[in-house]
Amino acid sequence: MKISEFFNNELVVTNFDAKCKEDVFDVLYKKLYENGFVKESYLEAIKKREKNFPTGLQLNRYNVAIPHTDPEHVVKPAIAVATLKNPVIFKNMANPLEDVEVSLVFMIALNEEHSQVEMLQQLIQLIQNDVLLEKIIREDGGDGIEKIIKQNSQKLTGGK
């Protein structure tokens, strides 16, 4: 499956006014749950996992977090997106003692382990592309973000 198939304008919030990362988890969980992508247990599982194994990524320009959890909490695979009005603090995946100011969150729901490597490679290429990240951050509304990802899906080759 290509990365564009995982994004859906129903699962996007832009310019979200969050005080902390939990606000982001709550709003994205609500979208995933209401649209039938995850089980009720997903939210607690995400929070617990983030505490044990943080997902903040220190990048060149805009920092990103990729919260995710085990497949048992997921019904259908998807990626929910939040762009933040002001950055919120996540802990660094590379070093949980460090804070990372995150502007963009991709909350991943996958229902099979070891699966979707192609999509994951594309997502990683996306977060390593400053130009694309900036376009996404500046976009207002889910339709625009969905469009950016669909338009650029061909360029994101899945590492092949």
Partner 1 sequence: MKKVLVCCGSSMITSSVAINKLKEVFKKENIDVTFGQCKFSEVPSMAKTFKPDVIVPTGPLDEKAAGGVPIVRGTSFITGVGEKETVEQILNILKK
* Neighbour count for residue 110 (Cβ, 10 Å): 20
Is the CB of residue 89 less than 8 Å from the CB of residue 102?
yes
Residue 1 near partner 1 by CB under 8 A: no
Contacts (Cβ under 8 Å, ≥6 apart) of 42: 29, 32, 33, 69, 73, 74, 109
Residue 93 near partner 1 by CB under 8 A: yes
**Which of 7, 21, 42, 68 touches partner 1 (CB under 8 A)?**
68
**Which of 57, 84, 145, 149 touches partner 1 (CB under 8 A)?**
57
Using DSSP, state whether 63 is helix, strand or coil. Answer: strand
* Neighbour count for residue 116 (Cβ, 10 Å): 18
Residue 157 near partner 1 by CB under 8 A: no
**Which of 43, 105, 108, 136 touches partner 1 (CB under 8 A)?**
108
Pick 124 or 148: Cβ nearer partner 1: 124
Residue ranges that bind partner 1, judged by CB under 8 A:
49, 52-54, 57-60, 66, 68-71, 93-96, 108, 110, 113-114, 117, 120-121, 124, 127-128, 159
